[in-house]
Amino acid sequence: MTPTHFSFTSAFMLGLMGLTFHRTHLLSALLCLEGMMLSLFIALALWALQLESTGFSTTPMLLLAFSACEASTGLALLVATARTHGSDNLKNLNLLQC
């Protein structure tokens, strides 16, 4: 395993572990998701550069577009949750009551 591959794998795993174990606030969950998407974007961009193929050059940009859509949706949900519930604590959210 190359050091570059190890660093992107560990960055993705740290984001995944942060999303799994530290789920107290919605904002921290969104930051962990953005860290995971950033590590995936950089890894895919380097992979496309190593392959030197024009077919794989659009994949990182497509991932970046989906990441921007995910970030905007997450921030919209964060604002809506903060307005209705008063905070972004995930423990206060209950799907059974509206």
Partners of residue 25 on adjacent β-strands: 89
| pLDDT tens digits for range 12-59 | 999 999 989 887 888 898 999 999 999 999 998 888 888 887 788 888
Please tell me the predicted confidence (pLDDT) of residue 96.
61
SS3 25: strand
29 vs 22, 50, 58, 61, 64, CA distance in Å?
Answer: 8, 32, 28, 23, 18
What pLDDT, on the 0 to 100 scale, is given for residue 35? 92
Higher pLDDT, residue 36 or 98: 36
Other beta carbons within 10 Å of 71: 14
Domains and CATH numbers, the chain: 1-88 (1.10.287.3510)
Which pLDDT does position 98 carry in this prediction? 54
Q: pTM (2 decimals)?
A: 0.83
- In the chain, what percentage of residues exceed pLDDT 90? 39
User: At residue 25, what is the residue type?
Assistant: H
